[in-house]
Amino acid sequence: MPSLKTLGQFPPLLYRAFSRREYAQQFMNGIIRFGNIYYYKQIEDENRRDRTEGESHVRYRGIDQQGMFASNSIYILCCHQTMDAVKRNSLGTHIVLIRDPKRFAEAITLGIENLPGKYFGGAEGCAIEYTKGHEVEKRPSGYEIARLAYSQKPEAFRSEEEFRFAIIRKTSVGDFLTVPIEVSPDYFEYVEASNNCFEEGLA
């Protein structure tokens, strides 16, 4: 019986964009690559780089409430909640539709069970909050501040409508973590997205 538990609330559908068809195919074959959250602080693509990634920040009664994980062991898989968000941000023209995100997360959790190393819980689904630096009405708990370290981004990224799957590992394995999962034909659908599609969507 699995010892890890899938966490979070999940939308009915999600979209994952890839720059190359072969990467999309690997994904649909069940080879799921997560990126270290701190990797996104330094990537070359300025449209994707977030120098505050992995850090939480809200203000309560004018006082900053901030936090971050002590180790670089958080791995994330970033998706979009709508096709409009995919078109607006143009992060890849090869799109995979995830038909059942919760089921997908459960498959990831099972995949983690077969990997070496220690994990703190299973895959967690996070609808990103675009509240970094915002004033809040209620003082956040220590747990809430820690969770915001991987589920919060600045307002400037709101157009991405991001939903991510997060994995917390005891130790880092570098910039990327690959999780093989069992897939069935109804998990995914490849969405043909041409350059014209993105131009029409004002990406």
pTM listed for this prediction: 0.85
Tokens of 42: 């330094």
In this structure, is residue 2 part of a structural domain?
no
Is residue 63, in this structure, part of any structural domain at all? yes
How many domains are there within the chain? 1
109 or 198, greater pLDDT: 109
Q: Is residue 1 part of a domain?
A: no
Other CB atoms within 10 Å distance of the CB of residue 25 = 15
User: Residue 196: inside a domain, yes or no?
Assistant: yes
45: which 2 tokens? Answer: 């693509």
Residue 107 maps to a domain: yes
* Residue 99 is assigned to a structural domain of this protein: yes
Compute how many other C-beta atoms are within 10 angstroms of the C-beta atom of residue 120: 12
Domain of 172, in residue numbers? 7-200
Question: Model confidence over 30-89: pLDDT tens digits?
Answer: 999 999 988 776 665 565 666 777 687 888 888 888 887 766 689 999 999 999 999 888
CA nearest to 37, candidates 6, 5, 80, 68: 68
Domain assignment present for 183: yes
Q: Is residue 155 scored above 60 in pLDDT?
A: yes
Nearest one of 80, 77, 76 to 88, comparing CA atoms: 80
Structural element, H or E, at residue 27: helix 21-28
Whether residue 109 lies inside any domain: the answer is yes
- Which of 60-64, 99-103, 114-118, 185-189 has the largest mean confidence? 99-103
